[in-house]
Amino acid sequence: QVQLVESGGGLVQAGGSLRLSCAASGRPFSNLCRAWYRQAPGKEREFVAAISWSGGVTDYEDSVKGRFTISRDNAKNSVYLQMNSLTREDTAVYYCGADENMAVLYAKQCAYWGRGTQVTVSS
Protein backbone atom coordinates (compact mmCIF):
# COMPACT_ATOMS: atom_id res chain seq x y z
CA GLN A 1 0.00 0.00 0.00
CA VAL A 2 1.41 3.34 -1.06
CA GLN A 3 1.51 5.92 1.69
CA LEU A 4 2.66 9.51 2.06
CA VAL A 5 2.88 10.70 5.66
CA GLU A 6 3.49 14.33 6.55
CA SER A 7 5.01 15.48 9.83
CA GLY A 8 6.55 18.56 11.39
CA GLY A 9 3.52 20.80 11.62
CA GLY A 10 2.62 22.69 14.76
CA LEU A 11 2.07 26.07 16.34
CA VAL A 12 4.66 28.77 15.72
CA GLN A 13 4.81 32.51 16.25
CA ALA A 14 4.88 34.88 13.30
CA GLY A 15 8.41 35.24 12.02
CA GLY A 16 9.33 31.75 13.11
CA SER A 17 10.25 28.64 11.15
CA LEU A 18 9.07 25.08 10.68
CA ARG A 19 10.36 22.16 8.65
CA LEU A 20 7.81 19.77 7.22
CA SER A 21 8.67 16.26 6.15
CA CYS A 22 6.83 13.83 3.91
CA ALA A 23 7.89 10.21 4.05
CA ALA A 24 6.81 7.78 1.34
CA SER A 25 6.42 4.04 1.59
CA GLY A 26 4.98 1.18 -0.42
CA ARG A 27 6.97 1.80 -3.59
CA PRO A 28 10.09 3.66 -4.69
CA PHE A 29 9.44 7.36 -5.08
CA SER A 30 12.79 8.41 -6.45
CA ASN A 31 11.39 8.71 -9.98
CA LEU A 32 8.37 10.74 -8.95
CA CYS A 33 8.00 14.49 -8.81
CA ARG A 34 6.92 15.74 -5.40
CA ALA A 35 4.99 18.78 -4.25
CA TRP A 36 3.55 20.57 -1.25
CA TYR A 37 0.10 22.09 -1.08
CA ARG A 38 -1.92 23.84 1.59
CA GLN A 39 -5.53 24.43 2.39
CA ALA A 40 -6.72 27.14 4.74
CA PRO A 41 -10.20 27.04 6.30
CA GLY A 42 -12.85 28.01 3.77
CA LYS A 43 -10.38 28.08 0.89
CA GLU A 44 -9.42 25.75 -1.91
CA ARG A 45 -6.26 23.69 -1.76
CA GLU A 46 -3.42 25.62 -3.36
CA PHE A 47 -0.06 24.71 -4.79
CA VAL A 48 2.93 25.75 -2.65
CA ALA A 49 6.07 24.18 -4.10
CA ALA A 50 7.25 21.37 -6.36
CA ILE A 51 10.47 19.53 -7.05
CA SER A 52 11.47 17.28 -9.91
CA TRP A 53 12.49 13.66 -9.40
CA SER A 54 16.17 14.58 -9.53
CA GLY A 55 15.81 17.67 -7.38
CA GLY A 56 17.23 19.76 -10.18
CA VAL A 57 14.05 21.73 -10.80
CA THR A 58 12.03 23.51 -8.15
CA ASP A 59 9.12 25.91 -8.33
CA TYR A 60 7.21 27.97 -5.81
CA GLU A 61 3.98 29.82 -5.46
CA ASP A 62 4.70 33.54 -5.52
CA SER A 63 3.77 34.29 -1.91
CA VAL A 64 6.31 31.79 -0.53
CA LYS A 65 9.25 32.54 -2.83
CA GLY A 66 12.30 33.49 -0.82
CA ARG A 67 10.78 32.12 2.40
CA PHE A 68 10.13 28.43 1.69
CA THR A 69 12.55 25.84 0.34
CA ILE A 70 11.59 22.42 -1.00
CA SER A 71 14.14 19.62 -1.03
CA ARG A 72 14.22 15.85 -1.24
CA ASP A 73 16.28 12.87 -0.17
CA ASN A 74 15.59 9.99 -2.55
CA ALA A 75 17.54 7.57 -0.39
CA LYS A 76 14.96 8.21 2.32
CA ASN A 77 11.97 8.48 -0.04
CA SER A 78 11.33 11.83 1.60
CA VAL A 79 10.63 15.42 0.65
CA TYR A 80 10.92 18.44 2.91
CA LEU A 81 9.60 21.97 3.13
CA GLN A 82 11.64 24.46 5.11
CA MET A 83 9.40 27.39 5.99
CA ASN A 84 10.92 30.62 7.28
CA SER A 85 9.51 34.04 8.13
CA LEU A 86 6.08 32.54 8.66
CA THR A 87 3.03 34.79 8.73
CA ARG A 88 -0.55 34.21 9.79
CA GLU A 89 -1.45 33.84 6.13
CA ASP A 90 0.61 30.64 6.07
CA THR A 91 -1.78 28.98 8.52
CA ALA A 92 -3.25 25.93 6.79
CA VAL A 93 -3.19 22.17 6.55
CA TYR A 94 -0.17 21.25 4.47
CA TYR A 95 -0.31 18.22 2.17
CA CYS A 96 2.32 16.47 0.13
CA GLY A 97 1.66 14.91 -3.24
CA ALA A 98 3.55 12.84 -5.77
CA ASP A 99 3.20 12.03 -9.45
CA GLU A 100 5.32 10.97 -12.42
CA ASN A 101 4.37 14.11 -14.32
CA MET A 102 5.37 17.46 -12.87
CA ALA A 103 2.64 19.21 -14.86
CA VAL A 104 0.08 17.13 -13.00
CA LEU A 105 1.35 18.54 -9.71
CA TYR A 106 0.40 22.06 -10.77
CA ALA A 107 -3.09 20.80 -11.59
CA LYS A 108 -3.37 19.32 -8.10
CA GLN A 109 -4.16 15.92 -9.58
CA CYS A 110 -1.44 13.88 -7.94
CA ALA A 111 -1.51 10.12 -8.09
CA TYR A 112 -0.55 10.00 -4.42
CA TRP A 113 -1.57 12.22 -1.51
CA GLY A 114 -0.75 12.46 2.16
CA ARG A 115 -3.33 13.23 4.83
CA GLY A 116 -1.86 16.55 5.84
CA THR A 117 -0.24 18.26 8.80
CA GLN A 118 -1.57 21.39 10.50
CA VAL A 119 0.53 24.54 10.55
CA THR A 120 -0.74 27.36 12.72
CA VAL A 121 1.02 30.72 12.87
CA SER A 122 0.10 33.01 15.73
CA SER A 123 0.66 36.75 15.86
Predicted local distance difference test score (pLDDT) of residue 10:
98
Predicted local distance difference test score (pLDDT) of residue 27:
83
| Residue stretches of the chain with pLDDT short of 50 | none
Predicted local distance difference test score (pLDDT) of residue 58:
96
β-pair type (18-25, 3-7): antiparallel
Whether 39 contacts 46, CB under 8 Å: yes
Predicted local distance difference test score (pLDDT) of residue 35:
97
For residue 29, give the DSSP letter.
Answer: -
